[in-house]
Amino acid sequence: MDNIAAIATGNQYSELGIIRLSGSSVVSALNGFIDVVDYKPRMYTPCYFTLKDNIAYPAGIVYFKAPHSYTGEDVIELHLPGNPVLLDDVCRELFKADVEPAQPGEFTKRAFLNGKMDLTQARSVMQLIQSSDESQRRHALTMLEGDTSDKLQKIAEGLVSVIGLLQASLEFSPDEIGAIDAQEIHQLLKNIIKMCQETTPSEGSQRSGNFTRVLITGASNTGKSSLFNALCKKRRSFVSPEPHSTRDSIEAVLDIGSGQVCLVDSCGTHLADDEFRYGLQKQYRNLIEQADVAIVCFNGSTAIDLEQINYYKNINLPKIAIITHRNTDLDLDNMLFIDLITGDGLGALNNALIDIVSKTNTASLGAQWSKSHADILERLEQALEMLQNDEPEEFAVTFLEEAKDILDNLRGSEVSEDILDGVFKRFCVGK
């Protein structure tokens, strides 16, 4: 595959910045830039990186030779001083050579395609990058370590053997294959159900419902609750000119025409300068973690500071910016003006929502995992009940095959490009 590169360490000033490259010819792609050629895999090699201005920056490289790397391809980590401007310049120069900018999640996608991890683990990488609270981080880590993947693998294997046994008993007479003990099949299925129950999704990953979650967020007093009420056509959320009037989030199922979404009104985003605000901020982080789409409100009648603008830019979700109160000359991606007193602009927002939701791969990892887990368990229990009640085995096989399909989809054993892209596009670039 083509060479790709991205800044792996984020856009902040720090002692060290890392650009990660992956591809079949990253070694030669770096040749003109660094002053070392003979470096050993998995060793840190100090070097100088020369930009077009002929300034040689102190650098270092760590080379991971294929297939012993994160992506399974040749990977080079280029260590440089952690200055975002310098890192951007270096990337720009690399992109003029034989290197393409990495798409969000592309490193992990390549790892998946090269058999370095299964889809459950890849999704966990995404959740780990996005996780803000400790229980979510632990959940992501357990899956990443392959613990859950191993269990899912065992469940899948168990299912294949039970389905195989049942199909054999349907297709062949006992004279041909010997009698298959019904009790043995029941016991096998009970073991699978027990294994499945033991892989219950952790609390941190659960959330209500399985609709696309549209979170209304933004600073205090920007009209979030007014917008929530206007969209719901009901006075559900408390509106007041006082800041911080919304504290607990409020949810409503909303029909946007193309389907239903779960709309969430939330507390304002605040700097954590006291315990009360810290509590709200923590709550908000959980909400954004669970959201699939963000509507970010800005109050056009007051000065919109850089913090709010950066907040919008940094949200790693499909998003819409809404200017309330009064239009401004602010220029953000996907921006709409809405007058919540007259209702002007609500139709345009509804259309924008239909558009963005149709492109969103709805369920976040937690929701998808919770839902799939419940669906699998339900089908396994139904199949067991049928077998125990001596109902026709064909029906039990149908339920077991459905459970297997859901499991395969979750593990990525049989996944289409579309689903893959949906999963990987929500990573940040550099992972």
Interface residues with Mg ion (CB under 5 A) are 224-225, 246
* Distance separating alpha carbons of residues 294 and 353, to the nearest angstrom: 10
Query: What span, in angstroms and rounded, lies between the C-alpha atoms of 308 and 344?
Result: 24
Q: Which is nearer to ligand GTP, 325 or 431 (CB)?
A: 325
For residue 223, the partner it binds in Mg ion, ligand GTP, none, with Cβ less than 5 to 8 A by kind, is: ligand GTP
d(CA 218, CA 308): 7
**Binding segment (CB under 6 A) for ligand GTP, from list 203-211, 214-222, 313-321, 365-373:** 214-222
Q: Which of 89, 93, 339, 378: binder of ligand GTP (CB under 6 A)?
A: 339
Q: Does 226 bind ligand GTP (CB under 6 A)?
A: yes
Stretch that binds ligand GTP, among 91-99, 150-158, 339-347, 414-422 (CB under 6 A): 339-347
CA separation for the pair 264, 224 (Å, rounded) = 10
Q: What is the per-residue binding string for ligand GTP in 265-284, x denoting contact by CB under 6 A?
A: ---x----------------
Binding ligand GTP (rule: CB under 6 A), the pick from 244, 277, 371, 425 is 244
Task: Supply the minimum distance, in Å, between the C-beta of residue 321 and Mg ion.
Answer: 17
- Under rule CB under 6 A, residue 224 binds ligand GTP: yes
Cα diameter, the chain: 84
370 membership: H or E segment, kind and range: helix 365-388
Nearer to Mg ion, 199 or 217 (CB): 217
In angstroms, what is the minimal distance from the CB of 402 to ligand GTP? 43
Q: Is 245 in the site for ligand GTP (CB under 6 A)?
A: yes
Start-end of H helices in 258-361: 275-290, 306-314, 346-359
Residue 374 three-state SS: helix
Task: Give the nearer residue to ligand GTP in terms of CB position, either 109 or 224.
Answer: 224
Q: What is the per-residue DSSP string for 47-112?
A: EEEE-TT-PEEEEEEEEE-TTSSSSSSEEEEEEEEE-HHHHHHHHHHHHHTT-EEPPTTHHHHHHH
Considering CB distances under 5 to 8 angstroms, the limit depending on partner class, which of ligand GTP, Mg ion, none binds residue 114?
none
116 binds ligand GTP (CB under 6 A): no
Residue number with CB closer to Mg ion (22 or 246): 246
Q: Is 422 left (phi over 0), alpha (psi -120 to 50) or beta?
A: alpha
Site for ligand GTP, residues 392 to 411, rule: CB under 6 A: none
Query: What are the contacts of 303-307 at 24+ separation with CB within 8 A?
Result: 304/328, 304/330, 307/271
Q: Is the distance from CB of 30 to CB of 21 less than 8 angstroms?
A: yes
Distance of closest approach, residue 239 Cβ to Mg ion, in angstroms: 7
Query: Least CB distance from residue 40 to ligand GTP, whole Å?
Result: 56
For residue 67, is the peptide bond before it cis, meaning its omega torsion is within 30 degrees of 0? Answer: yes
* CA–CA dist 17, 129 (Å, integer): 17
Q: Which of Mg ion, ligand GTP, none is residue 270 near (CB under 5 to 8 Å by kind)?
A: none
By the criterion CB under 6 A, which residues form the site for ligand GTP? Answer: 220-226, 239-241, 243-246, 268, 297, 324-325, 339-341
